[in-house]
Structure 1
Amino acid sequence: MRSQDSRLSPAWVARTTVTYDELQAAAGSLWWLQSDPDHGGVRRVMCSDRFGTANPVTPSDVPVGGQLHAYGGGSFAVVRGGVWFVGNDGSLFHQPLGAAPERIVSVLGSEQYGDLVPGPDGGVLAVRGDGTTDEVVAVSPVGAVQVLVRSSEFLACPRRSGDSLAYLEWPRDRMPWDSCRLLVGNISSDLPRPGHTVAGGPSEAVLQPSWGPDGSLYFMSDRTGWWNLYRLHNGGVEAVLPIDADCAPAPWEGGYRSYGFAPDGTVVLTVLDGFSTELVAADPTGALRRLGPNLTSVKPYLAVDGDRLAVIGSTPSSAPGLWSLDLAAEADAPALPVTAAVDPNPSWTPVPPSIGTARSPGGPVRFLLHRPPTAAAPAPLVVRAHPGPTDDVPLRLDWTTQFFVSHGFAVAEVLYRGSTGRGRTFRQVLHGHWGEFDVDDCAAVAEHLRSTGVARPDAMFITGASAGGYTALQAASRPGPFAGATAVSAIIDPAQWELSVPEFQRPHAAVLRGPAGAALPERIRCPVLVVHGTADTITSAKEAMRFAQELSALGNDHAALFLEDGDHYLSAPAAREQALRAELDFYRRIMSRPTT
């Protein structure tokens, strides 16, 4: 058996977590956002050449990333001789390469900038929103702002080709993955004017418009129930690669790019199934081949640079990092790492998970199962309800999961109803049933693992963050298999959350919430650990504190941890470390109670 020395420590996991986002290819280099524990989780723009030498571009004392539409995205754009980026207050900065950043446009009130793409003459195109009005603007290097489009709806993804501007628009009472239109307008006039709709509508969600090298306008649409790639051609819409699979994720952030174009006309895109993400290339004849089969998870940031493709990818044994593929290589050629991998823990080797299926009241429910390699079965079980709930369960190395596995827990990650990667119908089935169908599916997985001898019947726990925290609290509020629940940055009352959440997400709360209602302390049937950051801007720390206080008054088995200045994601390494330690101690305390 492995010794206790092989167990991962909370501090090691917190120091190891590095995130990569918004990868793009420009000026012969790769550029991306990175946050790592050595800089307190601050996001910086990084740049790398093809040899893998990475250097920070922006300083750590000017964090990158705003909160346009609550979650930001499209945080930087590379232009000749420098970069534009959004500061953490939502304002616009320009930084010549090798020089210090300069604030070009300050924000007023609730304004936020985001969705940046290069503009003409070294300027930038962006979306500017203030909570009531969105605008597509062109900003010159000296800070002159021209409004190209103004709308009372949400706007995203400005893409310019000559005097033509393509962009997305969706109603303020809908989410962009439920209803979104693609518009094209002429911007030769100095006055802002709306474009005309070319795709999308009330029951169709269009994503990620892009002008292709052939001059056509490409985009993702779920008009068939699956997000597939289309193009506007000869006055009509035609499918580029019809497939019964989602080729893009739900657009939580700006700047996603789930497809790209090679010089020979080959289209590269992602294909999702809820767990894994495949890279597929379709040449001009329509012939398909798979790229980088060693990768199992790929973030929606494809960067094509000539005959090479760079991605943020991962495998069951490697955490997300930068990988490169030769588009001219033979089929099934593996992707090669660009960035150095995190030094592994010398005493712990991750064990790849298996994919399982359980029966729930709604039918089959799939899950990833991570099992301790040497622990005797049955083992204590942690069921993880992913956040979102419009999200998936990526098949990749996650050190938080490995932390619990190293301490003898089995971990099940549930692709419950409402998740993405399984088409429009599957992700919308949770509408009006939040706190019901997701809980049913998580409980069904736990019962399945108990009945098959994987899980200890007296030591099955559920954990979740954000929307997953609400799922965990609702699971703790009904008779069921769980001996304890952990709610991190949790939504507690969907009705109250709808009133307080950033406007972008209010329709999400409205369409999801149903009879389950608020998680109420008096309904809780098992011990609960509440973890929340005091600086959370997505879910209410005050509501969580009140909930924890009322729980404490009802019994001594509950616990709470409130992290000073912690954000919604507990991004700071110290916050992540404290949360991991508290959750492990919570489960151990429950398992150590005498049985009756």
Structure 2
Amino acid sequence: MTDETDVLEELASLPTLAHPTASPDGERIALYYDITGRNQLHVLDVESGSLTRWSDGEVPRAVKESPHWSADGERVYFHKDDDGDEQHDLHSITADGETEAVVTLDGQTTLFDVGDDGDTLAIGSTAAGQQNLYVHRRSTGETERITDHERAAHSGVLPPACDRVAYASNERDDSGNQDTYFVGVDGTDQRRLDVGEPGAETVPVDWGPDGRRLLLSDTSTGLNRCGVYDTTHDEVRWLGDGDSQERPVAFTPDGDRVLAVRTRAAADASVVYDLETGERRELGVPEGVSPFVRFGNPVLDDRRVLVLHTTPTRRLELLCYDLETDEYETLIEAEYGDLDPDRFRDAEFFTVESDGVAETPARAIDLSPATELDIECLLYDSGERPSPLIVNPHGGPPVQEKRSFDLYTQFLLTRGYSVLQMNYRGSAGRGRAFREELYGDWGGAEQADVARTAEHVIETRDWIDEDRIGVYGGSYGGYSAYWQLVQYPDLYDAGIAFVGVSDLADMYENTMPHFKTGLMERYLGTPDENPERYDARSPVTHAENLDAPLLIVHGVNDRRVPVSQARIMRDRLTELGYQPGEDGDFEYHELGAEGHGSSDIDQKKRTFRLLGEFLDRRLGRPVAASGRGDKQ
């Protein structure tokens, strides 16, 4: 093998932990870990530090949903799908590897919460079409649907008495709205809480140990805030002074404190609220992205909590933090294999002003100036001179690039490509108004933000090779890659669309129902309401503008962004006379046994090879890395 192959294999093989969650007694932590070369369920003994593998191939190869402990701590529930298609059934596994199918329904099944009674499970399922709330009884094996919403019901949480479920859905005309509801576990007594403003998002997070208080997340004031709802008096106490973007995570077991995650300048910090005094303090962990465990139980006991920590140059680690002493210990350290961690590149954080119009000519649609905003950027310098640049818009769209370790970014850096990431308008982490800038304008000003930040870096960093600019993204980032190439073809010399959206009407027709209503309708309305918008903002409509080599990669089992999206773009390019193949105008790959991306080590290696080989062919290797500077 060449040295480059060695590095690729090492990077892709670095073991990764995912979705840690504490057991009810706080003595163990279940997590997914691929240290054996394949994703497996492991359990960590907190006291001894011993890590035991519970599964032997029973859990999926790729991590999608978090595991949950049973109330007695005797088993762990996990989601099992078919080669990444996300049409999960719910299974359980014990320490001796005994597995059991718990809930098997058509469509996608997601476990929201496990009741303290050991019998009640709150789940979401698309068995009847739209995702609605169901209750499963372990004692009888029966599963009953308890809500009937046209838009998705999600985030179900059970109080200690297990007599009702708090959850979020939307019955208002405003598709961006989310309200919190209560419903009895038998489907009766459903009511919407009078909390938050219409059009905002109010979502339940956790019940207090008294079963009377409910922890809420709410965006009514612009920035996300934490609230404690008193069910006895129908009153909410809002925490903090509204100066920070904060998401609630959990109550402590004594009910005296609330854990939350504060986001600022593309970084997360864990904060604790004392409910008696209202005081807020930030945990004393190293700078970087340091949130509480959010998609599992973060609490070991009244004083010890689980915190994740990462930076652009430090891989994810699991910490145990003592709230009384403000000290922490590392439970699972990052693994680096034979790689020197000093080879990883840090990110430069800065902002770029954008009014939603790029300097590069727009070839697909004309845009008028939008709200002028500061767009957060992360620039990774590969050290090559001159350096090609990969523009890397994130997926979502309501997610956020943060100052955390990213394997794909570091892979590109090791091959000499600098990487630019940005939080365009519509991204998470910047408040409600910033996110709502994208409503009704999918494929508009946010794509100009992407181009404008790339222009800024090219203009201000003389070490960037402006003749070797690529764009690469996955999911909504894949849509962005397609769109950048047809809207701003003068800017780019190559592009990669990974599980990307190319035809909005087909996406609406074939994606999962909760993505149809929660994503497509929220940002675009329906195709019947806005046929011209769906057509004009589809990259395939403007495929004739493609003027740079394009790599299309898509998993055949993808149910979020169906593989039809890739096939539609491929067929349109062929119809227009573009030639496929390594020496042609575009390259096309369908990935078997894979859905909407994959965390499986072998599948990551395959993806790395496709990306690296395409970029080397199409953008040319950096001089220092290959001894030549011309494109092939």
TM-score bracket, normalised by the shorter chain, equals 0.7 to 0.9
Separation of aligned partners in 2, 1:59 and 1:544: 34
Q: What TM-score comes out, normalization by structure 2 length?
A: 0.82
Of 553, 567, 573, which residue of structure 2 is paired with 1:551?
A: 573
Secondary structure of 1:357's aligned partner: strand
**1:431 CA drift (Å):** 1.5
Partner of residue 254, structure 1: none
Aligned equivalent of 1:356: 350
How far, CA to CA, are the matches of 1:29 and 1:545 in structure 2? 49
Cα-to-partner distance string for 1:196-215 (whole Å, 9 max, x where unaligned): 42425641211233222454
| Corresponding position: 1:535 with 2:546 | no
Within 5 Å, which residues of 2 pair with 1:500-519? Answer: 500-507=510-517, 508-513=519-524, 514=533, 515-519=536-540
CA contact (8 A) 2:169 2:181 kept: no
Once the two structures are superposed, the pairs formed by residues 375-390 of structure 1 within 5 Å of their partners are 375-376=384-385, 378-390=386-398
Distance 1:463 1:237, change over 3 A: same
State which of 28, 31, 50 in structure 1 corresponds to 2:29. Answer: 31
Q: What's the counterpart of residue 251 of structure 1?
A: none
**1:408 paired to 2:411:** no
Superposed displacement of residue 231, structure 1? 1.2
Question: Tell me, what secondary structure is at the counterpart of 2:617?
Answer: helix
Gaps of 5+ in 1: 67-71, 249-256
Aligned-pair CA distance for 1:277: 0.4
Distance change in 2, residues 1:534/1:175 (3 Å): farther
Partner Cα distance (2:202, 2:478) in 1: 29
Deviation at 1:402? 1.0
In the aligned structure 1, how far is the partner of 2:147 from the partner of 2:630? Answer: 66
1:298-377 pair list within 5 angstroms: 298=291, 300-301=294-295, 303-306=298-301, 307-330=303-326, 333=327, 335-347=328-340, 349=342, 350-361=344-355, 362-372=372-382, 374-376=383-385
Letter in 2 for 1:371: D
Of the three residues 180, 183, 201, the one matched with 2:181 is 183
Q: Is the 8 A contact 2:40 2:54 kept in 1?
A: no
| Separation of aligned partners in 2, 1:341 and 1:460 | 32
1:60 paired residue number: 57
**Counterparts of 1:164-563 in structure 2 under 5 Å?**
164-171=163-170, 178-187=176-185, 192-200=188-196, 202-213=198-209, 215-233=212-230, 234-248=233-247, 258-261=249-252, 263=254, 265-273=256-264, 275-283=266-274, 284-297=276-289, 298=291, 300-301=294-295, 303-306=298-301, 307-330=303-326, 333=327, 335-347=328-340, 349=342, 350-361=344-355, 362-372=372-382, 374-376=383-385, 378-452=386-460, 453-479=462-488, 480-507=490-517, 508-513=519-524, 514=533, 515-519=536-540, 520-551=542-573, 553-555=577-579, 556-563=584-591
Q: Give the number of equivalent residue pairs.
A: 570
Counterparts of 1:118 and 1:79 in 2: how far apart (Å)?
Answer: 7
Q: CA deviation at 1:118?
A: 2.7
Change (3 A) 1:184 1:549: closer
Provide structure 2 residue ranges, at least 5 long, that are not aligned to the other structure.
82-86, 356-371, 525-532, 621-628
Query: Relative to 1, partners in 2 of residues 1:576 and 1:267: Cα closer, same or farther, differing over 3 Å?
Result: same
Structure 1 distance, partners of 2:131, 2:567, is 33
Which sits farther off after the overlay, 335-344 or 454-463?
335-344
**Seq. identity, %:** 19
Q: CA deviation at 1:419?
A: 0.4
Distance 1:568 1:435 in 2: 21
* In 2: Cα distance, 1:477 partner to 1:191 partner: 49
CA displacement, residues 378-414 of structure 1 (integer Å, 9 cap, x when unaligned): 4111111101011100211112111111222211111
For 2:613, the aligned partner's letter is D
Change (3 A) 1:228 1:43: farther
Query: 1:351-396: per-residue Cα shift (whole Å, max 9, x none)?
Result: 3211022232243222111112x433x4111111101011100211
Q: Partners in 2 of 1:49 and 1:573 — Cα distance?
A: 27
Code of the residue aligned with 2:350 in structure 1: it is: G
Q: Distance in 1 between matches of 2:515 and 2:46?
A: 38
- One-letter amino acid of the counterpart of residue 553, structure 2: V
1:590/1:86 Cα in 2 relative to 1: closer, same or farther (>3 Å)? closer
Q: Do 2:245 and 2:430's aligned partners in 1 also have CA atoms closer than 8 Å? A: yes
Could you state the TM-score of these two structures normalised by the residue count of structure 1? 0.87
What's the secondary structure of 2:182's corresponding residue?
strand
Q: Distance in 1 between matches of 2:616 and 2:492?
A: 14
Change in 2 beyond 3 A, CA 1:98/1:398: same
CA RMSD of the aligned region, Å?
Answer: 3.0
Give 1:147 deviation, angstroms: 5.3
